[in-house]
Each structure stands twice: as structure tokens, then as C-alpha cells.
Amino acid sequence: MITRRECVAPGFWCVGFRAPRIAGAVRAAQYVAIDQPGRFAVRLPLGIWTAEGDEITVLFREWGERTAQLAHSDIGTAVDLIGPLGNDFTIPARGARATIVAGGLGVVPFWLLGKRLLAADVQTRVVLGARTAALLVGAAELRALGLNVELCTDDGTAGTRGSVLDALDSEPPADIVYGCGPPNMLRALSKRCVAANMPCEISMEETFGCSMGTCWGCVVPVRRGAKQGSGYPKAHAESRDFDYSRVCFDGTVYAAADLVWSA
């Protein structure tokens, strides 16, 4: 059931659900597959933003039909949630230094991760970027947890002018980097961390169909032999040098070193 609904910036919504079982079990980077019976043809996958008490929230942009429907549903509307789905991030040892790199709505997995890193005494730096100030959401909630959040925008309308990757250059390397955001940013972040031999975990987003691991509509290529790869579809060893992995079921979190980018 929808418990709250707030427009946090033009076109961006935070919607809460009463979901005690999911709220009690969720880990960072997990998501829910949402149905409004009779309204959605395919479940809508959304990352879980916050979880407190019996309630979880999702933070999303009004992209198309399903997100518009959810954004404009009344409090009290019944929704059907499957979750929490997906794997989560690795937590380093106490005293380690972690950098979170988020692009736009890529901030979503990091409220839960930030909370967990703070509880584990990991020194955490958050770099949150977007093309322009109007697309930056979530910073206040991360700061309210006690996280140090640096902002950057491509056009300089908030924080430092430049990309999240530029901001990485201003501090010594971390023991682990976590990333979520648009594909171009993730590709650049992955490549940079792999080249620098810096452990990096990426939460991937693809277009989902079933969200259950059965339709194979959400695959990404991973290094042959990576633990999240599958042998399906079978191919002659020489016909490709990577495996497919289902983001909905095997991910959404991957070691950057396991991901294969097309360019």
C-alpha cells in the first residue's frame, strides 16, 4: 500500500510503501518489481532508496506510463511488490576508505549502502554528479545520515563544474569504489578503476522484462569465467570470448573487472 508520495524536484518523485518484510530484509542495491494490478503490462523495477520501520521508499523520475501511474496514485492505493531482489555490495574492513560515485538517479542504492558503511566504520566519501542542478536529487538525505557529499555538475549550476570522474582525481585512491549511474559514466568509471587496479563494484541497470531471470531480456556481457556469467546460450568456444549475465537475477552489482564494455 502506498504510504506517502512527494514530488522532490520537477519530474522526480519519492513514493513510500508499507512493506515490513522487505524493509526488514533489504540490502543496498536491491530493488522491487512493482505491479499495480490491472494497470501494468510488465512489472516496473525500481531500486529501494530508504528502509525504516515498516516502510520502504523508491525515488524515481517520471519516465513513461508506469512511473507516471505510480507518481500520481493516491496514498492508500494497493500495489503488489516482489522483493527485495538482486545481490548487494561488498563491505570492506573497518577503517577502510570507500568512495561512492553516483550519477543522477544512480544515487538510489547509496542511502542504504552509506548507512551500512557508516555502521561498519568505513571512511566514506560520496561524489554525486549530474548534467545540471535540476537533475541532482538525494544529497540532503545522504547528508542527514552523516555522509560527506560532494556535488558536481557538467554545467557548474551546483557544486564543482565537471564530471564525477574529475572529482575522483582530487583525492588519493580509495580501497573500494562503488558506482551507479548512466551507462557512459559507468563505462568510464569501470575502465579507470580497472586500469588503476582499484577494486570497484558497479550496480548496473538494463531494461527489464520479467525481473525474475527467465526472459533473458536484461543480459550484459561479462568476462568468460566470471562467477555471475552463465553458459547460456551455448556457443562454440571460439565464437565469443565473454559470457552473458542476467542483471535482474545475477546482479545488479558486478565487479568492474568482470564487466565487458563494447567500446
Task: Please tell me whether residue 216 binds ligand FES under the rule CB under 6 A.
Answer: yes
Task: Determine contact, residues 176/253, Cβ cutoff 8 Å.
Answer: no
Nearest distance, CB of residue 206 and ligand FES, angstroms: 8
β-strand pairing of 148-153 with 123-130: parallel
214 binds ligand FES (CB under 6 A): yes
Asked if residues 173 and 198 have their Cβ atoms less than 8 Å apart, the reply is yes
Pick what 205 binds: ligand FAD, ligand FES, none; C-beta below 5 to 8 Å, kind-dependent: ligand FAD
Hey, which residues between 104 and 143 contact ligand FAD (CB under 6 A)? 105, 108
Are residues 229 and 243 in contact, defined by beta-carbon separation less than 8 angstroms? Answer: yes
Contacts (Cβ under 8 Å, ≥6 apart) of 234: none
Burial class (CB in 10 A: 0-12, 13-18, 19+), 254: buried
Among the listed residues 16, 17, 47, 250, the single contact to ligand FAD using CB under 6 A: 47
CB atoms within 10 A of CB 49: 23
Q: Which is nearer to ligand FES, 167 or 218 (CB)?
A: 218
Judged by CB under 6 A, the chain residues 88 through 107 that form the site for ligand FAD are: 105
H/E stretch holding 139 reads helix 139-145
**248 near ligand FES, judged by CB under 6 A:** yes
Cis peptide before 84 (omega within 30 of 0): yes
| Residue whose cell numbers read 540490502 | 27
User: For ligand FES, which residue of 208, 226, 254, 259 counts as binding (CB under 6 A)?
Assistant: 208
92 binds, among ligand FES, ligand FAD, none (CB under 5 to 8 A by kind): none
Judged by the rule CB under 6 A, the positions of this chain that interact with ligand FES are 208-211, 213-218, 246, 248-249
Judged by the rule CB under 6 A, the positions of this chain that interact with ligand FAD are 31, 44-47, 58-61, 63-67, 105, 108, 205-206, 208, 252
